Amino acid sequence: MEMPKRLSIFRMLTDFKKELVKYAKQGAPNVNENEYKDRLQICNKCPHLKNAYRCGLCGCVVEEKAKWATADCPDNKWKKHEGKSHNPKDSQ
């Protein structure tokens, strides 16, 4: 019974790492505030949300992943990101 749990954690970490690398390589672009709120509202109603913070399909912490313009919902529930992304480096 332990093995599937370990595989699940391994997969979650691997998926999160892939998303993080993609985000970092593209200069850490974020969605705007409205798009972020829309994504979180969708996640909060989603049956895949686990423990009110983690996506059960990709394993990511949704409050973090929803900020990233490079990220997609693994169940295609979020609107496709369009328009300008906010790059944190622009405001430095």
Kindly compute the dihedral angle of the four CA atoms of residues 33, 37, 40, 46, in this order, to the nearest 10 degrees.
Answer: -140
Stretch that binds ligand SF4, among 9-17, 19-27, 38-46, 79-87 (CB under 6 A): 38-46
Tell me: does residue 63 bind ligand SF4 (CB under 6 A): no
**First-to-final CA distance of the chain:** 49
Tell me: does residue 81 bind ligand SF4 (CB under 6 A): no
Binding residues for ligand SF4, rule: CB under 6 A, are 42-43, 46, 48-49, 55, 57, 62, 73-75, 77
